[in-house]
């Protein structure tokens, strides 16, 4: 989203009373900020976003066992855009090494629940929640998942 360009004036609008400031420096500053954060419209506050190294996960609500998003393996950020409440019992390993991490970001008003040690997924895909409990991620919440040396995924609060 581009910054709104507002000129600085100390004037009644006639251009003859007070001081009309030279606004070129301000336009230059706005342009530098826009360049630093990306093209206008790149990020919508309260809307979905995309980052290099991320995957957007657009799925229906439901329960998913050993879930693996298309193209999601080895991506740093998984941006969830589900249409209803989602429960994950596991994440497919896709051959990821111990220590591999993903940031799970819930971009919806629906819950994203990580079931703790669910037998619905094989051990290598299971999720171990904080305090060995299910973990519910609310709207715009985030949590890290880390591939453990023993094979399962550990949930680490972001």
Calculated CA dihedral for residues 71, 72, 77, 78, nearest 10 degrees: 110
Residue 136, strand partner residues: 113
Whether residue 19 is contained in a domain is answered as: yes
Which pTM does this prediction carry? 0.64
pLDDT confidence of residue 129: 87
Cα dist. 56→20, 39, 79 in Å?
48, 20, 5
Q: Tell me, yes or no, whether 129 and 61 share the same domain.
A: yes
Looking at the fold, whether 37 and 75 belong to one and the same domain comes out as no
CA distance 103 to 29: 33
Could you tell me the pLDDT band of residue 65, with boundaries at 50, 70 and 90? very high
In a domain, 72, yes or no: yes
Cα atoms in the 13 Å half-sphere on the side-chain side of 111: 9
**76 & 128 share domain:** yes
pLDDT above 80: residue 127: yes
What domain range includes position 22?
Answer: 1-42
pLDDT, one tens digit per residue, over 83-114 is 999 999 998 876 778 888 888 899 999 999 99
- Across 134-142, average pLDDT: 90
The model's pLDDT over 9-56, given as tens digits with 9 standing for 90+, comes to 666 666 666 665 666 767 777 777 666 655 444 444 344 445 556 788
On whether residue 145 sits in a domain, the answer given is yes
């Amino acid at each position: 989203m581009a910054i709104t360009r507002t000129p600085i004036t100390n004037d009644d609008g006639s251009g003859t009373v007070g001081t009309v400031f030279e606004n070129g420096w301000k336009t230059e500053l706005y342009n530098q900020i826009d360049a630093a954060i990306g093209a206008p419209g790149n990020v919508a506050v309260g809307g979905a976003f995309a980052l290099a190294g991320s995957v957007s996960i657009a799925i229906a609500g439901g329960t998913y066992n050993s879930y693996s998003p298309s193209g999601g393996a080895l991506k740093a950020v998984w941006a969830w855009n589900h249409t209803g409440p989602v429960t994950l019992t596991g994440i497919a390993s896709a051959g990821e090494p111990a220590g591999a991490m993903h940031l799970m970001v819930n971009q919806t008003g629906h819950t994203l629940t990580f079931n703790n040690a669910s037998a619905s997924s094989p051990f290598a895909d299971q999720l171990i929640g904080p305090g060995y409990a299910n973990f519910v991620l609310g709207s715009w919440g985030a949590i890290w998942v880390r591939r453990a040396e023993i094979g399962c995924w550990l949930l680490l609060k972001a």
